[in-house]
Amino acid sequence: MSSQNIETRTRILEATVRILEEHGGRGVRMSDIARESGISRQAVYLHFASRAELLDATTKYRDEVLDLDRRLAPSRAAKGGVERLALYIEFWGNYVPEIYGVAKALLLAQDTDEAAAAAWQGRMLAMRDGCRAAIDALHSDGQLAPGWTPKNAADVLWTMLLVPNWENLTAECGWSTQQYVRCMKTVVERTFVKE
């Protein structure tokens, strides 16, 4: 891909992020994105065959800009399951505020917008994989609390960390990011780590 094509693609993705955040996911059309990025609608379609492809690429672009792999590295390199679980919670609690604008837009639009639903589902499946990896590490170390299967523990952890739950604690209850991370680490450790 030429540098001009990469630059145009980046402009489209950045425009999509801005529109999603400003409009809460409502009424985000390819023509809106074209206008915001200063190119034709046809040019948008040259880079993204469908709106669903564009929204999915936008969520991945945000992860790339925010250096997701570098941020996940400490959790992935943890020496044991307890450490991996704690580092994953720390990563996620600090990451959500940075993706919240796009996340909220996709959450609001997902009931009436298949493309938004598909983009959001893809990101949540990736987050679920992170939960599963942390729980699997805990289980491999023999540290998973009695009564839990790795699958059930991963499902519950994933549910606990969903963005609407973070939103309730931070926006509705007024918790800081630090308070969220600290409390979630405590709850998760008491729930899933063998005493």
- Give the start-to-end residue ranges of the domains of the chain: 3-58, 64-192
- Could you tell me the two tokens for 85? 């679980």
Per the CATH hierarchy, to which homologous superfamily does domain 3-58 belong? Homeodomain-like (1.10.10.60)
- pLDDT tens, position by position, 76-106: 999 999 999 999 999 999 999 999 888 888 8
Same fold, 3-58 and 64-192: no
Nearest residue to 43 via CA among 9, 84, 80, 92:
9
118 confidence band (pLDDT: 50, 70, 90): confident
Q: For the packed helices 3-23 and 51-65, what is the interaxial angle rounded to 10 degrees?
A: 100
pTM score of the predicted model: 0.87
As assigned by CATH, the class of the 64-192 domain is mainly alpha
- Could you tell me the two tokens for 5? 């094509």
- pLDDT tens, position by position, 136-162: 999 999 999 999 999 999 999 999 999
6 confidence band (pLDDT: 50, 70, 90): confident
Name the β-bridge partners of 193: 144
Q: Is the pLDDT of residue 1 over 70?
A: no
The pLDDT value given to residue 23: 76
Q: Is the pLDDT of residue 32 over 70?
A: yes
